[in-house]
């Protein structure tokens, strides 16, 4: 099916793009890589009168470190994130997550800004961004504001972005010390969206006690969900396989996942604990490798 008619606007500067968003508001949608927006337009689930293509605007694709954070431009592709040496060294959760998005063609064209602004409830980045407690930088002709990951996702395909705002940058922390991260994703085919996805961040002290734990799930609700019960079970305790198993069993607490043709709600709840355990075990292994010890 073809999408309905629309007018294409191709700004050459960020200011021009923001002016177009301000002018057309709810009638406009931003087009980045196109892998999220074009399919839903073909299905007539979105019918914007104006598409604002930002692919010609210079300076929106970058990965740089500044003041203890890594800044990622909205037009940075999944492939660029996957292969970034800076991210692999300072925050490996994001490149690992990017490596599991779609296929090679999708990763070469799709962008982190487009994926996050689309807010698909089964997408991969939202879980990682939530576990990392990232900051989202939105800009309009009125100025700039920073939105936390916790406040950014409002519901299925819904974010805190206003109609005149563009997500221009994502800021994630640099990571040091005895930390480990992992992203585990349950799919039927490698290129699918997640049935259940789990992003995990663990930080240990010198004695192997969990100092920080962040676990976020995708595919089990309208937005990414922090597994607070799991985190509470881990923090302040000696990191062991037994502790991971006990904490992971609490991943399904309070969950009410959807049922669809891919999986039932009950199956997703059960797999939430399984995938959480896998992600935490890999994160723990990586943290303990930095300590020179084994589980």
Q: Is the dihedral of CA 242, 247, 249, 251 positive or negative?
A: negative
8-37 mean pLDDT: 92
**Pair 111, 166 in one domain:** yes
CA 168 to CA 141: how far, in whole Å? 13
What's the confidence (pLDDT) of residue 295?
59
247-270 mean pLDDT:
96
Q: What is the DSSP letter of 194?
A: P
- Specify whether 146 is located in the same domain as 159: yes
The verdict on residue 21 lying in a domain is yes
| Residues 218 and 151 reside in one and the same domain | no
pLDDT over 70, % of the chain: 99
pLDDT in tens, 112-167: 999 999 999 999 999 999 999 999 999 999 999 999 999 999 999 999 999 999 99
CATH of the domain at 102: 3.30.465.10
For position 294, what pLDDT does the model report?
Answer: 61
> Is 84 inside a domain boundary?
yes
Q: How far apart are the first and last CA of the chain?
A: 53
Tens of pLDDT, residue by residue over 164-197, are 999 999 999 999 999 999 999 999 887 789 999 9
Let me know whether 76 and 147 are in one domain.
yes
206 belongs to a structural domain:
yes
Confidence bin at 45 (pLDDT 50/70/90) = confident
- Both 160 and 186 in one domain: the answer is no
Question: What pLDDT is stored for residue 2 in this prediction?
Answer: 74
Write down the pLDDT at residue 197.
98
> Which structural domain, as residue segments, surrounds residue 18?
7-53
Instruction: Let me know if residue 153 belongs to a domain.
Output: yes
Strand 28-31 to 50-53 pairing: parallel
How far is it, in rounded angstroms, from Cα 26 to Cα 29?
A: 8
The tokens describing 78, both together, are 């999944």
Backbone angles phi, psi at 229, to 5 degrees: -65, -40
| Whether 205 and 257 share a structural domain | yes
Q: Based on the structure, what is the number of domains in the chain?
A: 3
Q: What is the CATH number of the domain that holds 39?
A: 3.30.43.10
CATH number of 186's domain:
3.30.390.50
Q: Are residues 169 and 182 in the same domain?
A: no
Query: What mean pLDDT comes out for the span 248-258?
Result: 96
Q: Return the pLDDT at 291.
A: 87
Q: Is the pLDDT of residue 7 over 90?
A: yes
Per-residue confidence band for 42, with pLDDT thresholds at 50, 70 and 90: confident
2, part of any domain: no
Same domain, yes or no: 39 and 69: no
Residue 1, in any domain of the structure: no
Task: Examine residue 23 and state whether it is found in any structural domain, yes or no.
Answer: yes
Q: Are residues 119 and 25 in the same domain?
A: no
Residue 280: band (very low, low, confident or very high) from pLDDT cuts 50, 70, 90: very high
Exposure b/e, 126-148, CB count within 10 A at least 16 = b: bbbbbbbebbbbbbbeeeeeebe
Q: In this structure, are 184 and 260 located in the same domain?
A: yes
- Any domain includes 74: yes
Give yes or no: residues 163 and 265 share one domain: no
Give how far Cα 189 sits from Cα of 177, 194, 219, 284, Å.
Answer: 35, 10, 15, 27
Q: What band does 5 get if pLDDT is binned at 50, 70 and 90?
A: confident
Residues 169 and 269 in one domain: no
């Amino acid at each position: 099916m073809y999408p309905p008619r629309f007018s294409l606007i191709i700004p050459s500067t960020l200011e021009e793009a923001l002016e177009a968003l301000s002018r057309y508001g709810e009638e406009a949608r931003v087009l980045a890589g196109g892998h999220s927006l074009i399919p839903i337009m073909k299905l007539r689930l979105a019918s914007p009168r104006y598409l604002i293509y930002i692919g010609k605007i210079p300076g929106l694709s970058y990965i740089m470190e500044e003041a203890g954070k890594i800044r990622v431009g909205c037009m940075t592709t999944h492939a660029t994130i996957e292969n970034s040496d800076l991210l692999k060294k300072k925050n490996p959760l994001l490149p690992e997550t990017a490596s599991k998005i779609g296929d090679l063609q999708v990763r070469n064209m799709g962008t982190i800004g487009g994926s996050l602004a689309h807010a698909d409830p089964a997408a991969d980045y939202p879980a990682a961004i939530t576990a990392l407690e990232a900051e989202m930088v939105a800009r309009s002709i009125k100025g700039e504001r920073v939105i936390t990951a916790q406040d950014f996702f409002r519901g299925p395909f819904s974010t805190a972005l206003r109609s005149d705002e563009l997500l221009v940058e994502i800021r994630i922390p640099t990571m040091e010390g005895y930390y480990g991260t992992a992203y585990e994703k349950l799919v039927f085919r490698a290129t699918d969206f997640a049935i259940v996805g789990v992003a995990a961040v663990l930080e240990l002290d010198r004695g192997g006690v969990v100092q920080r734990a962040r676990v976020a799930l995708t595919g089990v609700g309208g937005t990414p969900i922090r597994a607070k019960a799991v985190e509470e079970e881990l923090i302040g305790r000696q990191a062991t396989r037994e502790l991971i198993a006990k904490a992971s069993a609490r991943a399904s607490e309070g969950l009410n996942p959807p049922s669809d043709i891919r999986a039932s709600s009950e199956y997703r709840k059960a797999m939430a604990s399984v995938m959480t355990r896998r992600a935490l075990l890999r994160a723990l292994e990586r943290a303990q490798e930095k300590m020179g010890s084994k589980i």
